[in-house]
Each structure stands twice: as structure tokens, then as C-alpha cells.
A = this chain, B = another copy of it.
Amino acid sequence: MTALERISNRTCGDGQKKAVLTVEKILERVKKDGDTALIEYTKKFDGFDPDPLEVPLEAIERAWEETPKPLQDALITAKHRIQDFHQKQIPKNILFKGIEGETLGRRWQPVQKAGIYIPGGRASYPSTVLMNAIPASVAGVKEIIMVSPGGSNGLVNQTVLAAAYITGIKTVFRIGGAQAIGAMAYGTNTIPKVNVISGPGNLYVTLAKKYVYGDVGIDALAGPSEVLIIADNSADVRHIAADLLAQAEHDPLAATILLTTNSVLAEKIDDEIMEQLEEHPRKEICLKALKDWGLIVICNDLETCAKLTDYFAPEHLELLLKMPYQVADKINNAGAIFIGAWSPEATGDYLAGPNHTLPTSGTARFSGALGVETFMKNTSIIEFNKQAFDKNSKAIIELANSEGLHSHAKSIEIRLSKSSEEI
């Protein structure tokens, strides 16, 4: 399993330690100097003067109006489907009476402020706006702000602004990088301090999210994207090639893995990929990703495919199989499972409904998609009555004493004495 392990642990080299120090410095500066630091770093890293930091509401509205009708329609379709799916995720409150008549519960509430990070540059994706803003909005978050770095002309990507518009976001700041994460975590004169930060970013953004985790909540630490396809002889080699390339085109670090029981297919796939690559606008990125982090494994049976998949714990799993559920039911670790020929990953990336923010680098072993819960938290409710108290007081005192916690026991005893006084 060495090849899978190597791919799972792929990183962008030994720059990480240095990046950690850079990020710490940026965050401490932003914490201390607020807007001044923010403006300085934006000039330095993004190459424009971001003063004023906020994108005018008119610019957000104009971005929507200037979006071509077919793209407007597509954004609206996506919005509705994502909204519908996330509405089903809202966790139910628990509230019930225990056997002694005591009330116990767990109450869910939205956080009060959320901050959404949308990358700029190569990865300027309106779909990311939908996939972060909609869950926050469905969760019931009252105040959602968005940050996205301007280009060298100082302008935020227009389709990103259009997506912000239809999700109801009215507050957008044209900042990015670790400094934007710091601004939302600590607050500045201009940028409000939020409770949860979500959204993907480059290594610096991810390290900054890890640093501020605990001061604020975060969605997850996203690594480079990956797809694992399991295909048998019912699969179309053209589909497989297109779906692998749809992953490779993201990033030179994107991983593309094919597990198949069909050796003929495994042989054909290279030619098909090269053919589809011929006029590909991101040919170089794709080739680098495929060369560094591509893998084809011919397995004896689907059982083995499932086992290797669970071991790798892919972000995206496509099952191009005659009997896909035979494998789907065996999988423990996967961010999302795309079942059958009509469900290429792109359906889920854009509009199927489930979130496209998924666990990468094997983190599907312990985490799942971004959801409405990312923007909610729960509060326990405990209301003992006299009967429940009397029934359990002895056990509580026993446990408190076993832990040497005198006043824990005392807080029960003192009520017991009153309870007997009352009798």
C-alpha cells in the first residue's frame, strides 16, 4: 500500500515549516495592528492598495446584473439544490423527561457571526461561495461576511461577487491570505470578529486557520483535492479519463487514482487521457498532477478495491460499476461517493446538493462534509426536580468523593439537608 500512502501524504515540499513561521508572524501583527497590518500585507502580497477594504454593495449588485443570463440561471439552480439538501441537515433539538420527571435536552442554535474565505487567483470559484454561504444561511446565521482577495487591479472576481449576491451576502472585504483569516478571527476596526471561519485556501490560509482554531471555529483544514475511481468492465474509458482529468486540472498536487478489475481498461486509459489532454488549456498542470500523484491499480476483485479505498480514505469516490452498491456498502472512509455513470464528480462539485467541501488527505477517516452543523453549536439542558435529585444524590456524592472534590459533594449535601428540613 506504499504508493497509496505516499499519495495520501503528499505535500508541497519542505516549505511548510517556514510557512508556519511566516503565518504566525502575520497573525500576531494583524492581532496587534488591525487594519494597518491588513493594508500593509495586502499591498505586499496582493499588489494593490485595498483602502477602502469593503467592496461597495453597488459593486456586488452590479456583478450580478452583469452576469450573463445562462450563468445566472445556473447559479440559481445550484443555489436551490444546495439549499434543499442542507435544509435536511438541520439537527433536531432533544428535549425529554427522564424517568424521575427531570428534563434533559440538547438545544441547537446558529453561531452569531460567520466569515467565509473565498480564494482569489487560479482558484476563483463562485461554487465555493454557494457551498459555504448557503449552509451558514440555512443554519440561521444572522451575520455572514465574506473575504476574497482582489486581483492586481484590486477587484474581486465578478462571478464570485455575483454568487455572493444570490446567497444574500452584503458584506465583502477584498482581502485574502493569512492576514484575512487573522482579521476575521481577532477583529479589526473594519473587519468584524466572527465565530466561525470556513472556506478553502492555499497553504498559508490553511495554516492560519489551524493557528486561530480554538479562538474561532473552523470548517476543516483542506489539503489538495483527490479522486479515486473504482471501475469494472461496465465503465466507459472516456468517462474515466474525463473524470480523472477533472481532478488533475485543479492543482499540480491533485491526486487521481483508478482501481480496476479490468486490465484492458487499465491499458486503454493512458491513450484516452493523452487524447483528451491534447487541447486542454491546463495541460501542464494536469500532466504534472498525473505524473506525480496519479496511480492505476489492477485489483483481483472488488473486495480488494474496497479495502484499498478504505485505506486511502478519498475525498471523492466514483463507483463506475455494474453493481455499485456492493462496493458502496463496504466503504467506511470517503468524503462523498458518486454512484454510476451519470454521477461524475462535477455533478457534486456544482449542484447535486451535498457540499463540495470534503475531507482530503485521509481525513475522511474522522470527518465529513461541511454542513449546517459547521455553523451551529449545541447547549445541554439539565433540569432536575426534587425526585430526580433525591434518587441520584447518593451516587453523585459517591463519585464526587472518589474524585476528592469536596464541594461537588457539598453542593448536593447542602440541598439534601434543606430537602429534609422541608419534610
Contact = CB atoms under 8 A, between A and B. Distances in A.
Copy number of this protein in the oligomer?
Answer: 2
B239 A415 contact: yes
Interface string A97-138: 010001110100101100000000000111100000000000
A276 interface: yes
B405 A246 contact: yes
Given A342-B385, A410-B276, A106 B354 contact: yes
A368 interface: yes
B352 A382 contact: yes
Interface in A71-92: 71, 73-75, 77-78, 81, 84-85, 88-89, 91
Interface residues of A, number: 122
Contacts of A415: 239, 341-342, 344
From A217, A345, A359, A411, residue with most partner B Cβ within 10 Å: A411
A91 B94 contact: no
A181 to B, nearest CB: 15
A280 interface: yes
Contacts of A328: 381
A93 to B, nearest CB: 11
16 contacts: A78-B395, A78-B399, A104-B352, A126-B399, A195-B366, A213-B221, A214-B221, A242-B410, A242-B411, A328-B381, A337-B380, A338-B382, A339-B381, A343-B383, A349-B408, A358-B380
Counting from the closest, the 10 A-B pairs by CB-CB distance are A217-B366, A368-B378, A354-B380, A74-B398, A74-B395, A336-B380, A245-B407, A339-B383, A242-B411, A246-B407
Interface of A: 70-71, 73-75, 77-78, 81, 84-85, 88-89, 91, 94, 96, 98, 102-104, 106, 109, 111-112, 124-127, 159, 195-196, 210, 213-214, 216-217, 221, 236, 238-239, 242-243, 245-246, 248-250, 276, 280-282, 286, 324, 328, 331-355, 358-359, 363-369, 371, 373, 377-386, 388-389, 392, 394-396, 398-400, 402-412, 414-415, 418
